[in-house]
Structure 1
Amino acid sequence: MKGYKKLCAAMLLAGLPIAAVQAQEQVIRVYSSTIEDRFGEDRTQPSSTVSLSREEIEQQHAQNLQQVLQAIPGITTDQSGGEDIKIKIRGVENQRYMGEPPGVVIVIDGVPVFERTGKVNIDLDNIESIDVVKGGASYLFGEDALAGAVIIKTKRGYAQQGVSLEHERGSFGYERSVLRAGGGTDNLQAHVQYADRSSDGFYALGNSWAETLSGNITWYPDEVSDLSFGFEKSDRYRDRSGSVKGATQAATDPEGNTASRDYTRNFDVDLERLNLAYSRELNDSLSLHGLVYQYTDDTSFWSGPMSYDGTGARTIAADDYKYDTDYSQTQRGLKLELNHSGDRLGTLLGLDLRRDSTNNAVRALRDYRTFSRGATTAAGTLLSEDEGQTDTQALFVEFKYQLAQDTTLTANARHDRIEVEYRDHLSDTDADKAFNVNSWRLGLTHDLTPGSTLFASASTGFRTPTLSQLYRTDLGGDQAVANNPNLEPEESLTYELGLRQAFNLGGWPSALSASVFQVERDDFILDTSGQYSPNSASHDVTGEAAIYDNIGGTRTRGFELQLTTELHQDFAFDLSYTWLHSVFTRYDDFYQALGNPYGRFGYVDPAGFNDPVNSYTLVHYDNTGNRVPRVSPHQINARLHWFGIDNLKLTTEVDYRSTAWADEINQEKWAGRTLVNLMAEYNLRVGSGEQDNIQLFMRIDNLFDKEYWVIARGVNDSNGSPATGMEYDGVYNAEDLSIIPSTGRRWQAGVRYRF
């Protein structure tokens, strides 16, 4: 009832004349939710959406998705080397930074893709469009859509006709080559593409490469139906992400050449995506869409830098890691949607069936010891072997109803039945759990004028607990963390009120989108010992084992604005601005470890702590009311485009991020920065064909070679971690931060030939 009252108040503030306008007949359409592109120019969308076309993406000549998305308000990204990034929306999940999912669903060709660490693995050269949907989006996409969704559609259709050759080079040994060929008839279209990207990287051991073969075949058997088969096979490799330990090393050795090893390294990734989509117009008002798919991910990597080798000698060698992990994942599913368009009512009914299967095996990479004395674990020893299966059955509906001439009501609902099974082959232990979760959206749009639309909505998102959180003792053998089978799914609730406006700004045809919003995040799951603290912390202090529990909460309030203009007097410009105020509403227990967490605990009073090398103490914090770390209050992106010479486009970009906190206790700061980037593109027509042209392009990022931290994260006294070989000093400060320094100025230049 409380949420209903807030939504009604927002609608009244918008001045929506629901009953005062006599409805006129018009066709109300509900587009396919995930199988086809539903967003684009649909003015009846009651939530914030941003759409990027293939042309807009290609014009940026980006090396990664971060460069593509940074002009969208509310979007931040974590980059982990190569092209892998983790996308975050409106600050959700910025308080976590390791292997957790980001609270944003990544949808590729209609399929919400489960990435083990939440990162996006897709060929940047095979993207036809990107739609960003903000707000809780589980009503369409189910699990983990706490803050929104990024919907990626791969290339297909007439736009891929002809042959295209591309090659470019850039800083730090960057090279990229793409060959694409396509063609067809009126009822059959096909294309195939090969892309090769590689880089030596700025950071030590930061090399990466990716080779991808992709394509699509679309058949139109008649005027009312089509059948489309898409595929993508990608082999990828990346090494270090580039993190260093502490502010001093970030300043003196940003490449990480000395005394630095990431916790994970040496990622070898094989991806394969296959999907078959069918669409048919059953009559003038009814259409059917279907999709079957199989996505696989086979990844191996190293983790756990060694402290001691098999003889007990101290080691900080770059390749001395404990664990060699082989992880494979397969997603299979079926999705069906029935769409009806009527004079005042449009409906959608959908069925989503999905099975995600995982297999995970961890072996000792080398001989190692946990301590200088004690047993040696021999290389090749099988340390863990398990498999999991998640079955999802979901029904979802959408109703779009014309309340009045210019007013449309949208209602969404979805029910997910999620069954999770796990089996540990070494301990012969298994576990299972089932969740029934409902999610929804209620929204309203009102056209003030032909070019102006007000919108308001409330929407939800959810994430179910993992089996490791539910049954940590049984499955992990960790006696310091007890089972908690009563965990509830994490939830988010987003309220939003916004305006979309087309107008003339001093001669520039312009489009404005602005919104105010609040994201309530409740029941998110944390270890009662405190996030990333020693698992024994709760037991050491209270005498009771820790558990994973629904003890966290955040609230984010914000304002977003995006302004885009068309060409006028040889100029066009774009501007985006984000203001975020994100705080912990619940975070009572946070235990910060000072000293060596692998040593003994014996200091209840931190003031008496005097042996950080061999022992540790715990400092308790109540983070309730603190700012969520790594959420910059202000972000601005401005782009100025100049077309003063025929066939030449020059773009200057200014990207600003304000200072934020680097840690949950709000002690160490992550400094802001302002970057200037340049892009140039020159097109030359050759031959007689419509698509015959040569394009030359160049991009320079961080033009003024500014030094800054790409990301900074801090939790405990960790400058003595095994990755660095340094000693613990019992003090938490900027030297304990995990930092990825900037790469400095970067350039790339290339040529594209199409015929």
Structure 2
Amino acid sequence: MIHSLMRKRNALLTTAVLSALSLPAYAADADADSLQVKTDPIVVTASRTEQLLRESPASAEVITRKDIDRMGAENLAQALRLAVGIDIRENGMVGNQSAIRGLSTNQTLILIDGRRIRTEDTSQTANYYELQRINMDDVDRIEVVRGAASSLYGADALGGVINIIRKTPKQDSVSVLTDWTTRQKDGGIRVERKKRGKWALSSSFKMTDIHERGTNAASNMYGDKYFFNIDGRMELTKNKRVDVFLDYLRENLYMKDSATQGTDYNHDRISTGVTLSGEDKRGSYDLRAYYTYFNKDQNTRNRLTSALSSFDVMKFNSYILDGKRSVQLGDNHLVTFGGEYRVEDMESTRIQGAGTLVREGTTNHLGDSTMKYAALYLQDEWCISPKWLLIPSVRWDYNDTFGTEVTGKLGTTYQLSKNTRIKANVGTAYRAPTASELYFDWQHTPNAAMVVHIHGNPNLQPEKALNFDLGIEAERGKHFGKLTYFHNKVDDLININTTLTPVPFPTFHMLANGVYENVSSATMQGIEAELRRPLGAGFSLRGTYTYLDARDDTTGKRLEGRARHTASLQLSYENPKNGIDAILWNDWTSGYRYSEQVGRASVSRDANLSLMNFVIRKKFSDRFSAYLGIDNIFDKSSNALASDGRIWRTGVRMTF
């Protein structure tokens, strides 16, 4: 069933082929009584070219716009809740994890239309906030690729890739959207203008108001967020175009650190760029340049006197130039090659430096760092036969601090029969330490009884990983099943080693002293399973299960912050005639390893949790729909798993 690759022999990646790949593929099942319709989504992140999901060797999943609307997802975390093998639970203080197959959140690469997002760069904060920083009104689909992808995307892709694909204007429309939950409320507007002359444009604005929650809540940060975006496409010729974009994010947030102090979080992020892309007789090409400025300004004050006790300033600048070219070589080879040049500047009161910064009589040190990256990569899609696809890739990366690194990957899909196939991948990956991990120097007093001091380590070594997976998947009519074994071995895993020391003078408090270090070796392996089947009368059932064994190879102990078993059972209903769809699902987490402080000792424990959720949506017309949802129906709580009760959700979508 590798029909799309065989079509590439004649006109691969021309406009006609790209249009054809977007349409449903019709195929007859030898054992079926009637013709079945299959609508395979396109995967962009699994390889640097477009492929049908069923044919891509990578272990990938696509969350469509229909899935997003059915979930009533007002943020990326909610949209990813039903994805296989990804942990998006809330962080202990703020934000969400985005950990794939037991790897850490900072080992997942998050992209928007293939562009890197400039985010915080410590292992405790990287990507934690990003699942709440995406305006879902702009999203067309989300592509999740599990497994190492460094050979194509470089550092940060040890665990996998999440690529958010945004909408392109298809008609003249104005959409008004509003959501309300027991945690926040949202209001937004999106304007699309289809192509007139050479230009097509879209723009959106959204405001989010996060409610204040109790002091025992999993996340107690509250305040406002503002999103603004404008996208434009100019057709230069029939097969050549220029895309431009401008994104702006503003966060005005506050968190009560203790009974006597609180912190203001004022964040701004501006991203802008331009892309030239097109197709010719040989294949396709694109060249892109983009820039991101990210400013974090945080002030901790006495809640009674408003006196400033400490502050932090962090300014990030990223300059990125990348490009790629795909060329058809012979009948069975599509070769893609490209490169990237990236400069990341950071000026911060949280890293070592000789400078000083004074604010309201309070003095803080100020450090700066610049890191430069360059890369070249090469990939070949080799259609050995109509049943066998092989994709080797290799990437050379340069970091001005750590030198060069070469990573590679080999993926294959083999069709056992018309509706059954084997997929396998083996590859290497790496992640270089960030400026914060190398040069961190930050002291914070979250409350009167605790002082936290975190130190960077300039002797850190890059994380390196060997990853492989082997899976089999099959469909029969509308039934589908998939089983995958995965194995990740990471050397020099970067971690914070924290020690607690009692300090009696001048007042008794605990000093938490954290130092970044390399863990010599860790192994994360497990099994992913997925089953889907129709039940009739508009009902369908989907079940997913992941088993994970994550251990420190030196001590043999299980790694914390990971669950041994996660499972989900999802009952869906769809009635297009009445415009109603609904989903009832239950998520199980078992054997979640965490540590608990007992006196001066840290004790490892396992947590378990079962949560039932429900969403129903009514589509009154093509221009008006509404939904109602309940997360955690039975109001269950768990400190270890950051669950603190029931959430009601409702929203309305109107298009004019």
Class of the TM-score when normalised by the shorter of the 2 chains? 0.7 to 0.9
Amino acid aligned to 1:128: D
Aligned to 2:202: 191
Q: Which residue of 1 aligns with 2:149?
A: 137
Give CA-to-partner distance per residue, 1:685-715, whole Å, 9 cap, x none.
2xxxxxx42101111111111122363xxxx
Alignment-mate amino acid for residue 136 of structure 1 = A
Residue 705 of structure 1 is matched in structure 2 by 635
From 494, 501, 511, the counterpart of 2:480:
511
After superposition, give the CA deviation of every residue in 1:533-559 in whole Å (9 maximum; x if it has no partner).
26999xxxxxxx998654432111111
Q: Is the 8 A contact 2:142 2:162 kept in 1?
A: yes
| Equivalent position to 1:294, from 291, 314, 322 | 291
How do 1:665-704 residues align onto structure 2 when only pairs under 5 Å count?
Answer: 667-685=603-621, 692-704=622-634
User: Structure 1 stretch 231-240 or stretch 146-155: which is displaced more?
Assistant: 231-240
Alignment of 1:178-257 (within 5 A): 178-185=188-195, 187-204=198-215, 206-240=221-255
The answer to whether the 8 A contact 2:45-2:145 is kept is no
In the TM superposition, residue 515 of structure 1 has moved relative to its aligned partner by 0.8
Q: Which amino acid aligns with 2:244?
A: F
Q: Is the 8 A contact 1:525 1:552 kept in 2?
A: no
Going from structure 1 to structure 2, the CA distance change for 1:202 and 1:462 (only over 3 Å counts) comes to: same
Tell which structure's C-alpha radius of gyration is larger.
1
Residue 269 of structure 1 is matched in structure 2 by: 267
Shift of 1:643: 3.0
Q: Give the Cα–Cα distance (whole angstroms) in 2 for the partners of residues 233 and 82 of structure 1.
A: 25
SS of corresponding position for 2:221: coil
CA distance in 1: counterparts of 2:423 and 2:227, whole angstroms? 41
**Where do residues 405-424 of structure 1 align in structure 2 (5 Å cutoff)?**
405-419=386-400
Q: Going by fraction, where is strand more abundant, 1 or 2?
A: 2
In structure 2, relative to structure 1, the CA distance for the partners of 1:483 and 1:217 (3 Å cut) is closer
Cα distance in 1, alignment partners of residues 588 and 115 from structure 2: 33
CA positional deviation for 1:76: 0.7
Normalising to structure 1: TM-score of the pair? 0.70
Change beyond 3 A, Cα 1:33–1:175:
closer
Question: Distance in 1 between the 2:305 and 2:137 partners?
Answer: 33
Give the superposition deviation at 1:43. 3.6
Is the 8 Å Cα contact of residues 163 and 754 (structure 1) preserved in structure 2?
yes
The TM-score normalised by the length of structure 2 is: 0.80
- Aligned 1:90-129 pairs, distance under 5 A: 90-93=101-104, 102-116=106-120, 117-119=125-127, 120=130, 121-129=133-141
The corresponding residue for 1:625 is 556
Q: Distance in 2 between matches of 1:26 and 1:354?
A: 36
1:239 alignment partner, SS class = strand
Can you list the C-alpha shifts for 1:435-462, whole angstroms capped at 9, x where unaligned?
2111111122101223222111112221
Aligned residues of 1:564 and 1:573 also touching (Cα < 8 A): yes
CA displacement at 1:405 relative to structure 2: 2.7
Q: From the superposition, tell whether residues 153 and 320 of structure 1 become closer, same or farther in structure 2 (CA, over 3 Å).
A: farther
Residue identity matched to 1:532:
T
CA distance in 1, matches of 2:211, 2:522: 40
Query: Which moved further from structure 2: 137-146 or 664-673?
Result: 664-673
* Alpha-carbon distance in structure 1 between the residues aligned to 2:85 and 2:43: 25
Aligned to 1:634: 565
- 1:389 aligned onto 2:321: no
Match of 2:415 among 434, 447, 459: 447
Q: Partner of 1:570 in structure 2?
A: 538
| Cα distance between partner residues in 1 of 2:93 and 2:224 | 7
The match for 1:660 is 592
CA separation of 1:319/1:191 partners in 2, compared to 1, >3 Å: closer, same or farther? Answer: same
> CA–CA distance in 2 between the matches of 1:319 and 1:672?
41
Give the secondary structure class of the aligned counterpart of 2:52.
coil
Q: Secondary structure at the match of 1:146?
A: coil
> Compared with structure 1, are the counterparts of its residues 633 and 489 closer, same or farther at alpha carbon in structure 2 (3 Å cutoff)?
same
Change (3 A) 1:648 1:492: same
Q: Which moved more, 1:555-564 or 1:197-206?
A: 197-206
Who is 2:313 aligned against?
326
Unaligned stretches of 5+ in structure 1? Answer: 1-20, 94-100, 244-257, 306-314, 364-376, 420-432, 474-479, 538-544, 587-623, 686-691, 712-739
Higher relative contact order (CA 8 A, sep 6+): 1
Alpha-carbon offset, residue 482 of structure 1:
11
Counterpart for residue 646 of structure 2: 745
Work out which of the residue numbers 30, 33, 52 in structure 1 matches 2:63. Answer: 52
* Conservation of the 8 A alpha-carbon contact between 2:169 and 2:194: no
**Distance of 1:188 and 1:222 partners within structure 2:** 12
Alpha-carbon contact 1:135-1:460 (below 8 Å) kept: no
Closer, same or farther: CA 81–380 of 1 in aligned 2, 3 Å = farther
Write the distance in 2 (CA, Å) between the matches of 1:318 and 1:641. 54
Distance 1:466 1:199, change over 3 A: closer
- 1:198 deviation in Å? 0.8
**Alignment: residue pair count:** 578
CA contact (8 A) 1:70 1:637 kept: no
Which letter does structure 2 place at the counterpart of 1:48?
A: S
Distance, in Å, in 1 between the alignment partners of 2:359 and 2:488 is: 49
Superposition RMSD in Å: 3.5
Distance 1:38 1:535, change over 3 A: farther
Alignment counterpart, residue 345 of structure 1, candidates 320, 327, 333: 333
Identity %: 21
